[in-house]
Every structure is written in C-alpha cells, then in structure tokens.
Amino acid sequence: MVPSANQFIERLSQENRVIVIGGLAIIAHGFNRPTKDADIWLEPFSSPSIWAYNLEKSVSNFPSLTIHTLPGWKQISGNEIATAASEVGMVRILGLDCPLDIFRKPNEFLAEDFDEVHSRATPNSDGTWLPDPIDLAITKDQTNRDKDAQDIAFLEAKIRRIWIAQLSTATPELAKSLFDRFTDWKTCEAALQNPHPEVRELAVMHLSEFASDGDPFSQAILENRTIPPA
C-alpha cells in the first residue's frame, strides 16, 4: 500500500519541527482550492548536512520512498541531499500518494528565518505548524504563477480583516507592530478611528506615503478624513 504524504509528514513531525506551506496551508487558512502536491518547511538545523541526516532518517522508515532534486528531479542520497539543501533549498520525496516538496529555504526566506516564522505559527493536530497568513503569503511572492497570485489575494484579504478588527482600538505599540508587517489604505482608514492620537498620526503617515506613490484611495481619505478628537 502506498503511504500517504500525511502519514510521512506526521512521522517527520514527531521528531522535528515542521511548518506546512503551499496548498495545504492555504486550504487550512480557509481557501477552498485543490492541490496536487504537498509542501513543508523542515527546520533547518545548524547545517545542510544535519538537515539531510534527519530527513534521510525519517525517509528510511518508508522503504518505498526516494529523494530527488533539480534539475530533472534526479534521485539522490547521502551527501547529495545536503548539497541539494544548500544549493536548491529543497528536495522532493516520491513514492507517496502525491509529490512532497521539503524545504530548508522556502521562497523569499532564509534558513535562519525558521525560528521567527515558527514563533508566529499555530499548532496543527498532527504535530505540524501552520504559518500565519503574512508569512505564508511571503512564500508565494515573486513566483509569477497565477495560482500564487490568487492565494496571496486571499491571504491579504484575511490579514486585512484581522488588522481592521484590531486597529480601531489598538494601543500605539500594537498598531505599530501591525503596520510594520502589513498596511494598506483600508487598514489605515480603520486606524483613523482609533482614540489614540499616535495611532491616527501613524495612519496618516502611511496614507501620505501611499498618496505620494499615486494611490487615489489614500489621497481621498487624506482630503476628506474625519478624525475623532483626542
């Protein structure tokens, strides 16, 4: 019987930190769309060779599995896995019910970013972790693929809803931390209703930057804004 990607991922996460990315993570965030493969970020450890060792140890529990790398998805083993982790940033596992791509360095992240991303992630029931919507969106940036653009649009809409719900009452410290990670004219508009003048000033600063870059919505808000008194 062919093992499933979920079985392998669950086994891998028993001894290692694993962040789910790709289509599985998008679906977990609430976007109803199909996916033909699975993608995970296996903690990078201190070196590609240690990363390769821990991955190969888990693969050895499933004798039918093979490890592959680009170009051409050629089969590799031993030191070649560490080389792929260093030069390509990922490998592919075949022999499961779907291809499984395992990353040491996902798109737009460094291996050293794992701990920070993991600190913002939430646990799944199988022992893996789900990245927050901003970190997940970053992994899909600059790919020039239509499906990734659709995923980013969904994630940004989710982020926007969360930010808007908080910014009208957030403390200046929280508002700054939110704006440091994501901001647009809609989140700034919500922040203009905040009773803290520092939060409103922060919103105006961002709106002014957007307006100077040609954003008509920010310009309209600046021209017609009504800010509650301090």
pLDDT tens digits, one per residue of 50-67:
999 999 999 999 999 999
Residue 133 has a pLDDT of 97
Residue 1 has a pLDDT of 87
Q: What is the mean pLDDT of residues 140-153?
A: 94
Residue 226 has a pLDDT of 53
Q: Per-residue pLDDT for 210 more than 80?
A: yes
- In the DSSP assignment, the letter for residue 62 is S
Q: Residue 18 forms beta bridges with which residues?
A: 42
> For the segment 168-192, what is each residue's pLDDT rounded down to a tens digit?
999 999 999 999 999 999 999 999 9
Provide the terminal-to-terminal Cα distance of the chain, rounded to the nearest Å. Answer: 67
> For the segment 74-109, what is each residue's pLDDT rounded down to a tens digit?
999 999 999 999 999 999 999 999 999 999 999 999
- Indicate yes or no: pTM above 0.85: yes
Cβ atoms 37, 50 nearer than 8 A: no
In whole angstroms, how far apart are CA 13 and each of 109, 150, 161, 218? 21, 29, 31, 45
**Paired tokens of 94:** 């075949």
- Report the relative pairing of strands 100-103 and 38-42 from DSSP bridges: parallel
- Kindly tell me the burial class for residue 56, based on how many C-beta atoms sit within 10 Å of its own C-beta (0-12, 13-18, 19 or more): middle
In whole angstroms, how far apart are CA 120 and each of 13, 66, 96, 167? 17, 32, 29, 19
